Structure 1
Amino acid sequence: MNHHAIQLYDYHIWANNRFFERLKELPYSVYTQEIQSVFPSMAETIVHMYTTDTIYLGVIREKNMDEIQASIIQAQEKIKGKGPEEMGALYTELAEQYKAFFNSQEDMNKPIAPEHPAYGRLETQLSEIIQHVVNHGTYHRGNLTAMLRQQGYPSVPTDYIFYLYERQTMN
């Protein structure tokens, strides 16, 4: 299926992979260094991103809140003490679960109505939730870039336009 939301998710995977490749080039201490930022370290930012992606996989699968809470607990156990290379592998596994879900869908714009314990029911579309996952990742990759720069290291470009250029050269 060729849908813009799937292309955006492919960008999300591409950008995460680029960032993990950059982290592998740097000393491990860069990953765990405490920094004054949105999260106290790059490690905690990446854990937050992974947990959030796990939550939204449950949301798009239309799981109930108890099932989503259970998946959060499982994810937190799985990621404890993992370094950037291991986290990159876990992100790849999670992306495969997203792709398998997308492949099972006939309508990426189908209506869904997730329930949030504090905000209530949201009438939306599957593609809008995917857009949120991508936006959330983009926001936090920006945080990670700032954290790298605070530590004196350059980041790696992960803008959508660079993904499009790279994709074009591959076709």
Structure 2
Amino acid sequence: MKQDTLRLYDYHVWANKRVFNHLKELPSEVYQQEVKSVFSSLEQVVIHLFKTDVVWLCAMSDKNYEEIQQIIGKYSAEMENKTLEEMESKYLKFSEQYIDFLSSHEDLNANKTLKHPAFGQLETRISELAQHVVNHGTYHRGNITAMLRQLGYPGPSTDYIFYLYEKQGNQK
């Protein structure tokens, strides 16, 4: 089970790298170009993905709601006016913390209790929270693809099956 969770998170990082690489191939202004969509720009989706990954690693690490809000505030200030390349670097560095965290836990199915002021208490497991991070990323990578199409560009292929083929050595 631990290897399954680590593989899913590895897929998440792989898919996000594909998005970063794809966006870097486009004209630089596309990243911040305003779009009438779920987010106002591709930049805003990238920031949202990063901040959400931070939230859930903090939650898995037993930080309380107030601590998480402070950490997100710090990251929000750091992300202002960052280039795509700077966001990619920040994301890749942060993803190493996830891998270290997930790798260092013996039992990713151990019970975890989360408390949220609006949603209440949740009994879950780290493996389920990691699955949520991956699902959330997949959802918003879909937003990125839709937004790119609105702007006249194709989106990157980030389906899990392509990850599996690439890891097996059958696809670039």
- How many percent identity over aligned positions? 52
Matches within 5 A, 1:11-26: 11-26=11-26
List runs of 5+ in structure 2 lacking aligned partners: none
Taking the aligned partners of 2:125 and 2:3, their CA distance within structure 1 comes to 13
Matches within 5 A, 1:17-166: 17-166=17-166
Alpha-carbon distance between aligned partners in 2 of 1:75 and 1:110, rounded to the nearest angstrom: 29
8 A Cα contact 1:148 1:155, kept in partner: yes
The number of residue pairs the alignment matches comes to 170
8 Å contact kept, 1:31–1:43: yes
What is the distance in 1 between the residues matched to 2:117 and 2:106? 29
- After superposition, the C-alpha distances for 1:54-103 in whole angstroms (9 at most, x for unaligned) are 10010110111121111101110121111211111111011011011112
Measured against aligned partners, the alpha-carbon deviations of 1:12-49 in whole angstroms (never above 9, x if no partner) come to 00000000001111112111111111111111111111
Matched-pair contact (CA < 8 Å) for 1:3–1:108: no
Task: State the TM-score, normalizing by the size of structure 1.
Answer: 0.96
One-letter identity of the residue aligned with 1:158: T
> What residue number does 1:9 align with?
9
Kept in 1: contact 2:6–2:103 (CA 8 A)? no
Question: 1:7 Cα shift?
Answer: 0.7
Separation in 1 of the partners of 2:116 and 2:136? Answer: 17
Following superposition, which runs of at least 4 residues in structure 1 exceed 2 angstroms of deviation? Answer: none
Gaps of 5+ in 1: none
Q: TM-score, normalised by structure 2?
A: 0.95
CA shift, 1:2, in A, is 4.6
RMSD: 1.2
Q: Tell me the secondary structure at the aligned position of residue 114 of structure 1.
A: strand
CA shift for structure 1 position 3? 2.1
